[in-house]
Amino acid sequence: MTVERVGVSFEPRLLSKFDTLLKKRGYTNRSEAIRDLIRKEIIESEIKEEDGEVIGTLTIIYDHETGDITNKLLHLQHHHHQEITFTTHIHVDEQTCLEIVVIRGQLSRVKKFSENIKAIKGVKHGQLAITKTQS
């Protein structure tokens, strides 16, 4: 792989903070960290601008004793069975559950699924993390 060298100027205080962050995250050089930051920004920008295929996880925490939440969650997951790759369910305590759904498909459908799940009464928190399947 060929690379092009570019120069980047930093204020000393910003560079010091950046170097501290790199050490905490285990980077051995600034170049790789900067490349990772650029890749992340490009992917996030493309995800916002396009309705391409994405893959990611939806993590939710919910109270399984609230209403008919278990059936509502299952119904939505069955309705989106084409996009769901994998699910796992963890009993946090006697009342609270954590569920992780690995989901792959068109961004619009993945977002709609996530929004519908998070809107169910009893879901305390939901977080969708997605990335592109192709760069």
Label residue 42 by pLDDT band (50, 70, 90).
Answer: confident
Q: What is the spatial distance between Cα 135 and Cα 129, in angstroms, rounded to a whole number?
A: 17
Ramachandran assignment for 118, one of left (phi > 0), alpha (psi -120 to 50 degrees), beta (any other): alpha
Architecture of domain 12-49: Orthogonal Bundle (1.10)
Q: Which pLDDT score is estimated for 26? A: 93
Convert the pLDDT of each residue in 71-124 to its tens digit.
Answer: 999 999 999 999 999 999 999 999 999 999 999 999 889 999 999 999 999 999
Q: Which pLDDT score is estimated for 71? A: 93
The predicted model scores a pTM of: 0.73
Convert the pLDDT of each residue in 52-76 to its tens digit.
Answer: 889 999 999 999 999 899 999 999 9
Label residue 40 by pLDDT band (50, 70, 90).
Answer: confident
Q: Which pLDDT score is estimated for 135? A: 58
Architecture of domain 53-132: 2-Layer Sandwich (3.30)
- Give domain limits for the chain: 12-49, 53-132
Q: Taking the CB of residue 83, how many other CB atoms lie within 10 A of it?
A: 19
Sequence-distant contacts of 120-123: CB under 8 A, at least 24 apart: 120/62, 120/69, 120/72, 120/73, 120/76, 121/66, 121/67, 121/69, 122/62, 122/63, 122/64, 122/65, 122/66, 122/67, 122/69, 123/60, 123/61, 123/62, 123/69
Residue count (the chain): 135
Q: What is the spatial distance between Cα 82 and Cα 61, in angstroms, rounded to a whole number?
A: 23
